[in-house]
Chain A
Amino acid sequence: MHPTVFSRSLLAASVLALAGSAATQVQADPKVLKVIPYADLKIVDPIWTTATITTHHGFMIYDTLIAQDENFQVQPQMLEGWKASDDKMTWTFTLRDGLKFHDGAPVRSADCIASIKRWAERDLGGQLLISRTESLEAVDDKTFVLKLNKPFGQVLETLGKISSNILFIMPERIASTSSAEQIKETIGSGPYRFVREEWVPGSKAVYAKFEDYVPRSEPPSMLAGGKVVKVDRVEWYYVPNKSTAMAALNAGEYDFYEAPSIDLLPMVQSNPNITVKVLNPVGLQVAMRPNTVIPPFDNVKARQALQYIVDQSEYMTAMVGNPDFWRACPSLFWCDSPVMTSAGGGERLLTKDLDKAKALLAESGYKGEKVVLMDPTDHPTHAAALLTAANLRKIGMNVEVQAMDWATLTSRRKSKNPADEGGWNVFHTRFGGDASSNPITHLGTNTGCDKAWFGWPCDAEAEKLKEAWVDELDDAKRKDVLDRYHTRLMEVAPFTPVGQYAIPSAYSNKLEGVLRTPTMVLWNISKKE
């Protein structure tokens, strides 16, 4: 070992020493970007799955028709532009010049239409759009027309949505795969190509610059603007253990770590070669989800009691720690978003009132029946589950904590059986802040009974108010409808938010041009020698 490095490490300036010694052991190739994404890329079809890691993959190899800029305004991306008729019932879209797929074929209207149709089979927003669509047809290879049969205020926002499923454009032959089946080819028209031969599921995914990509001329702004690739290759490595991942970043073994543990940030904050920054303008909303079809939470009073057992700062301290990265939020929607409202007593989500909770529980007629709480031990909501178990016991509930892995939880939550026949009463999950910023896409507030998300809350009045919000085109009136909708939701209590948090990324100072985006994107980044 190098003598200076040795003496420095003796001084226990371990972080500096690590960076110094690491430089000698890792060959830093300025043309290769080594990245640790938050999860392993297991599935390559961003329509088949809603997994966020696959959305990241999607933004590498696919392009979108419309994108949102840093002000969440829609901008054309693959499109040259669009024209709406005066009644906003007919939309004409034109593709820009020079778009090519990775196999060399040009991007045509037919590819876009096939991609929209496959996407709309899966996506909630897409389903709503298609249900109001009269026709979607190509005029020529570069122009296609969407005709609505019912007004829809969110056409561009839906086509350009930023949470999964995202409308990625694939060649027509691939997009004609059933949406219940995974696509077999990984060909897009995005700024990177997928190097399939080098893909090792569970460990590594490799992307190469797509030389024929024609970026827009505008500067990049969130997901909009020019996607200029400034490296030759991007390599994703999956490192499951957060502490070793952090140590490896610290040692210079990687350039970019998407989602380090906030508790471990002190490890790199003293390292002058590492930047820590929140890149995702939206974060994650953590939710306690009761099962509304079986007792005791089929009773609305029992569900309302849950709103009184939560002190969001307790949950967020346990799950996240450092208060720079989380906030308590008195709304079922994402705080800091245009739809944030605390109408209907949202403040009660912030502080505990166990007496009130006990009273509500008594009114619900609860008599000590067993309550099954699913605890996913390999998931960040594990800490929330333990806290909820303790809190429910404090109000006299007979809680049985059932530990399982997240994979088992995702299949158990489908069951509508009674709790002791494989069913469940409550679990925790995380909703993307972007999805939670829109009543259409928020899975937690959907009260469409059988069509609602697991837990199946059922309330026709709330659904009607949501429809009214979608239909309303006047901004002031929309706000009023939104408040009434939120008030109703607070009464129905389809879920209880326990806080929202941001996820910082950590990366080498050699990187320049890292963008702030809701999903990890790796264009515009250059790496100094």
Chain B
Amino acid sequence: MSAALEPEVGAATAEEPATGSRAWRFVRRNPTIVVGGLILALVLGAALAAPLLAPIDPLEINVLVRLQGPSAEHPFGTDHLGRDIWSRTVHGGKVSLLVGASVAVISSALGLFIGLVAGYITIVDRIVMRIMDGLMSIPSILLAIALMALAGSSIGNVIFAITVSEVPRVTRLVRGIVLSVREEPFIEAAVASGTRTFWIIVRHILPMTVAPLIVQATYVSAAAIISEAYLSFLGAGTPPEVPSWGNVVAEGRDFFPIAPWLILVPSAFLAMTVLAVNMLGDGLRDTLDPRIARRM
């Protein structure tokens, strides 16, 4: 689906072909990565296999069966338009995963670029960091709502709006790393030996940012999944024709005392997915970034 998800899915599937003892050692050492990865693989698999798992069209309106409780035909009931909640939930996973992954990748790429440039060029740093401070001081959900009001409702715009509010955090992280690394002796040595700045950044500084960036990207994608749900819940997110977990909850909120499944089913999926991503993040942090891991 995207680069950000690869290490996670890879981590989850890596155990299968390996010999029993090695695989078991990996599981023992990284229980959070394995559990998180497995859950995520399940959600991703369900989303990709949605047409098979939930053959009823999530958009199909049938007012004759509106607001029905769980039944054989509709295992998680129907909403006020008679749409199947199981279908809407399974298909909704696609939106959440797409938003989570895209925001993680785009904001990491942008944050990396801006952070590297800002960390290395002082004039750029002053201007860019003022703008980043300004963006960061606006509560991200309000910033995203305002951006959505400007851009209009679409999945692309949701990704854009959440990315804008996440980029400053990534930029800060990268810039912090650059500022601390550039004082290191081996960089000074490289500068003294006449290596061009571009190559110093690419060869020496960039690799230092990879591990923390992957960890950060995982957390960003968890935050993005929640943000998408909040935006849709507040009526400023994914177009309501598209079933996303936030939308299903938002449409269900007006009926929840008589039809609690409308909120509970998508919420459970949402919480489980975010939990899995966060567990992955914790696990990756512990393995990739021993410096932080020692403290936790």
Residue A387 at the chain B interface, CB threshold 8 Å: yes
With beta carbons under 8 angstroms apart, the residue of B66, B253, B257 that contacts A267 is B257
Cβ of B255 and Cβ of A378 under 8 Å apart?
no
Bound form: Cα–Cα A317–B65 in Å: 10
B residues near A401, Cβ cutoff 8 Å = 239, 241
Interface stretch of the complex, out of A65-73, A241-249, A288-296: A241-249
For window 245-276 of chain A, which residues contact chain B by CB distance below 8 Å?
Answer: 246-247, 261, 263-264, 266-267
B153, A386: Cβ atoms under 8 Å? no
A359 within 8 A of B: no
Contact of B61 with A243 in the complex, beta carbons under 8 Å: no
Tell me which residues across on chain B come within 8 A of A378, comparing CB atoms.
235
* Nearest-CB residue, chain B, relative to A246: B257
Q: Say yes or no: B61 contacts A386, CB within 8 Å.
A: yes
Chain B's closest residue to A318 (CB) is B63
Interface residue? B133 (CB, 8 A): no
In the complex, the answer to whether A404 meets B152 with C-beta atoms within 8 Å is: yes
Q: Is B80 an interface residue (CB 8 A)?
A: yes
Is A377 at the interface (CB under 8 A from chain B)? yes
B182 CB → nearest A CB, Å: 47
Number of interface residues, chain A, beta carbon within 8 A: 29
Contact in complex: B254, A261 (CB < 8 Å): yes
Among the listed A263, A383, A386, A404, which residue makes an inter-chain contact with B255, where contact means beta carbons less than 8 Å apart? A263
Q: Is the CB of A383 within 8 A of B257?
A: no
In the complex, A314 has a CB within 8 A of chain B: yes
* Cβ of B258 under 8 Å from chain A: yes
Output the nearest chain A residue to B235 by Cβ-Cβ distance.
Answer: A378
Among A246, A375, A386, A403, max chain B CB count under 10 A is at A403
Whether the Cβ atoms of B257 and A403 lie closer than 8 Å is no
**Chain A residues with CB under 8 A of B235:** 377-378, 405
Q: Which of A247, A382, A390 contacts B257 (CB 8 A)?
A: A247
Asked whether, in the complex, the Cβ of B241 is within 8 Å of the Cβ of A243, the reply is no
Q: Contact between A263 and B256 (Cβ–Cβ < 8 Å)?
A: no
Q: How far is the CA of A401 from the CA of B153 in the complex (A)?
A: 11
Q: Is the CB of A243 within 8 A of B240?
A: no
- Minimum distance in angstroms from B229 CB to a CB of chain A: 15
Determine whether the beta carbon of B241 is less than 8 Å from that of A386.
Answer: yes
Residues of A within 8 A of B254 (CB): 241-243, 261, 263-264
The verdict on A390 contacting B66 (CB below 8 Å), with A242-B254, A404-B153 known, is no
- Within 8 Å by CB of B61, from A261, A267, A318, lies A318
Interface of A, secondary structure class, is helix
* A390 close to B61 (CB less than 8 A): yes
Determine the distance from Cα of A389 to Cα of B149 in the docked complex, in whole angstroms: 23
Question: Is residue B131 contacting chain A, with contact meaning CB distance below 8 A?
Answer: no
Inter-chain CA distance A386–B240, complex, in Å, is 10
Q: Which of B45-95 contact A (CB under 8 A)?
A: 61, 63-64, 66-67, 80-81
Asked whether any CB of chain B lies closer than 8 Å to the CB of A225, the reply is: no
The secondary structure that dominates the B interface is loop
A321 close to chain B: CB less than 8 A: yes
Q: B240 and A264: CB pair below 8 A?
A: no
In chain A, positions 400-448 with a C-beta closer than 8 Å to chain B are 401-405, 408
CB distance from B257 to the nearest CB of A (A): 5
Residue contact A403 to B239, C-beta cutoff 8 Å: yes
A375 and B255 contact, CB distance less than 8 A: no
CB distance from B234 to the nearest CB of A (A): 10
Taking A263-B67, A387-B61 as contacts, is the C-beta distance between A243 and B255 under 8 angstroms? yes
Cα A404 to Cα B235 in complex, Å, equals: 9
Shortest Cβ gap from A376 to chain B (Å): 10
Within 8 A of B (CB), among A367-388: 375, 377-378, 382-383, 386-387
Q: Which of B134-151 contact A (CB under 8 A)?
A: 149
Shortest distance in angstroms between B60's beta carbon and chain A's nearest beta carbon? 8
Which residues of chain A in 226-247 are interfacial with respect to chain B, using CB atoms and an 8 Å cutoff? 241-243, 246-247
Q: Inside 8 A of B253's CB, which chain A residues have their CB?
A: 241, 243
Q: List 28 A-B contacts (CB under 8 A).
A: A242-B254, A243-B256, A243-B258, A246-B257, A247-B257, A261-B254, A263-B80, A263-B255, A263-B258, A264-B257, A264-B258, A267-B258, A314-B63, A317-B66, A321-B67, A321-B80, A375-B240, A377-B235, A377-B240, A383-B80, A386-B61, A386-B81, A390-B61, A402-B152, A402-B153, A404-B153, A405-B236, A408-B152
Chain B contacts to A: CB under 8 angstroms = 61, 63-64, 66-67, 80-81, 149, 152-153, 235-236, 239-241, 253-258
Given contacts A318-B61, A382-B240, A404-B153, 7 further A-B contacts (CB under 8 A): A246-B257, A317-B66, A321-B67, A375-B240, A375-B241, A383-B80, A402-B153
The 7 closest A-B pairs by CB, nearest first: A403-B239, A317-B63, A403-B153, A377-B240, A242-B254, A318-B63, A378-B235
